A and B are shown apart, each in its own frame.
Chain A
Amino acid sequence: MYLSAHHFGYAQVGAVVARTLSLAWKIPIIPVNHCVGHIEMGRLITGADNPVVLYVSGGNTQVISYSNRKYRIFGETIDIAVGNCLDRFARVLNLPNNPSPGYNIEQLAKKGAKLFDLPYCVKGMDVSLSGILSLIEKKAPQVIASGEYTREDMCFSLQETVFAMLVEITERAMAHTGSRELLIVGGVGCNMRLQEMAKAMCEERGAHIFATDERFCIDNGAMIARAGELMLEAGLKTDVSKATFTQRYRTDQVNLVLLLLAADFSGWLLLRILGAEHLAAKHGTCTEAVHAMAMWVAMTSTLPIVLNLATLVVLALTVWQVKKVKKLCEGITSSTHWLSRSSVRVGIGSSAKRALNEYARGRPEFALLVDKSE
């Protein structure tokens, strides 16, 4: 199982690896929608049965409900995602990225108290966030500089306004579908203020809220595995040639047989979740394959290292040799130099001079050099 709809570059690598593994070990391949992964993970962890889902992250903002074999999007952002909005505002305030900009906004917002008037854009079941961001990006530096509002106040105001909009469209979807359960998933879902607001809304409606912490809210591999597992159980497999990925795979394009099954077997599934060894046995094909390939894996991983080490040794030896030769060369150079200098200082002896003159006289090209004094 692998991810079929998410960040473009990574998904491409992932899809290639998944197809390779699938072909090499004859494992069924299952493309998993990222968002459905989030929802299924949330359902698994919280035990929600048929909730309205508020999926809020850096790339998505959707209110989803399951009906007639598909997750249907009731409301969503018509421009940017809420996580994107928060992150970009964090940049305006120069907040660090560690551990995440959204978390830092949340911490600052806890100390804020004064509400800055921001637009409130709910359009039917949809929200619009880009206008709010443009306004706060422009105004925040001004009002912070003038001391009218603090950084904390601005974070607080942004969160209060944007989350109120999200909770409102969620409430609309809950009223429309008559659902009594709400599940919050996605990275922004770990924001405690959002959870608190959603909880207050649910209490007013007599509904139950399911939320998880950052271990399950933030993107993870287990959620893809979980959705893939359900799809495998439902008998959904894909031909390798069709196992590609798309960034535009919408939540409401996924056909869900698995939910019907999941409902039937929900009790049985819980047992399965507890029995980890059962899961291990299920993925036996993969483990066995690893054992069979052990030698090749060892070879391919150790051989390059050995070769590299040998090269290093040869290199060191060469350097040592060159150093030795260099010392010798330097000795020769300096003694030659010394010889030539001393010969210039002392001057050439008279017999040698005569012999040279003799030699030069025999050759016209040296005529100019001949010592006329002799």
Chain B
Amino acid sequence: MEGSDEIAEQGFDYSIESSSMKQGAEARLFRCVYLGRPAILKERFEKSYRHTLLDGKLNKARTRSELKGICRARELLVETPTIFFVDGEKNKIIMELVEGPTAKDWIESRRAEDSFEKVVHEFGRLLGGCIARLHSGGLVHGDLTTSNVLLRDGSSDRPVFIDFGLSSQKNVTPEEKGVDLYVLERAIASTHVDCEHMMKGILEGYRAADQKQSGAVTKKLDEIRLRGRKRDMVG
């Protein structure tokens, strides 16, 4: 594909910028152009540290659940990047390039503002609403962090969820939904300082969006918080 001599018809050109490689948690991302549109090539490359069998199995499973997760999320009216092309053999996905910062960068950039607390709380409510929609549709993201939410054109009311590699669907229990929220809570606590009100906002938004499931899920969440090692046991 790279540096091909034939001149593509206008509007149908493609190229990969190998210089723009960015290594995420488990995949390499390249900026590219696909049929004239700016796109991202996400490649779950072979991990040299993992046993080949295990690695192959995991990469395949995650590429699949990423695609399925994105499709389901779109059905549930939660924004995700559009999929352009899939190479099942090499675990490559070409998808739309979403212009905008990650929620993580956006939150940190607003820190200096006086109304920071309120802004973050509002944003949390919005996120909570989206997560509730995913959950009530039977989709659990599995790796919710502020790095995995992009803000289209930098506006906080258009969150785009990415990285559905660890997502799961069908027969999702309140337990899994609770873990999903717990993972997010932990991610916020470890990434952002003094953002407790953000999690409050998320839970508020979650409750407001779906009264039916939120009872069971928040109950589970309280239960999950008490699990784990060396928790403080008060009382």
27 contacting pairs across A/B (C-beta < 8 A): A67-B190, A68-B193, A72-B190, A76-B228, A76-B229, A81-B229, A123-B142, A124-B187, A125-B183, A125-B186, A161-B54, A164-B47, A164-B50, A167-B49, A168-B25, A171-B26, A176-B145, A176-B187, A176-B191, A196-B49, A199-B49, A201-B47, A204-B49, A248-B230, A248-B231, A248-B233, A249-B230
Q: B232, A126: Cβ atoms under 8 Å?
A: no
Quick one: given A126-B183, A176-B147, are A78 and B191 in contact (CB under 8 Å)? no
Q: How many Å lie between the Cα of A176 and that of B102 in the bound state? A: 11
Q: A175, B25: Cβ atoms under 8 Å?
A: yes
Instruction: Report the nearest A residue to B143, measured CB to CB.
Output: A124
User: Chain A contact residues (Cβ within 8 angstroms of B): what range?
Assistant: 35 or more
How many A-B Cβ pairs are below 8 Å? 96
Quick one: given A122-B166, A124-B143, are A171 and B25 in contact (CB under 8 Å)? yes
User: Chain B contact residues (Cβ within 8 angstroms of A): what range?
Assistant: 20 to 34
A247 within 8 A of B: yes
Q: Which B positions have Cβ atoms within 8 angstroms of A? A: 23-26, 47-51, 53-55, 58, 142-145, 147, 166, 179, 183, 186-187, 189-191, 193, 227-233
Given the complex, which residues of A lie within 8 Å of B25, measured CB to CB?
168, 171-172, 175-176
Q: A175, B49: Cβ atoms under 8 Å?
A: no
- Give chain A nearest CB distance to B170 CB in angstroms: 18
Q: B23, A204: Cβ atoms under 8 Å?
A: yes
Q: A124, B186: Cβ atoms under 8 Å?
A: yes
Given the complex, which residues of A lie within 8 Å of B193, measured CB to CB?
67-68
Q: A77, B51: Cβ atoms under 8 Å?
A: no
Instruction: Report the nearest B residue to A204, measured CB to CB.
Output: B48
Instruction: Report the nearest B residue to A157, measured CB to CB.
Output: B51
- Return the contact of B53 from the options A76, A115, A203, A204 (Cβ within 8 A): A115
Q: A124-B186, A125-B186 are in contact. List 19 more A-B contacts (CB 8 A).
A: A68-B193, A74-B190, A76-B228, A120-B54, A120-B58, A123-B183, A124-B145, A125-B183, A160-B54, A164-B47, A164-B49, A164-B54, A168-B25, A168-B26, A175-B147, A176-B145, A176-B147, A248-B232, A250-B232
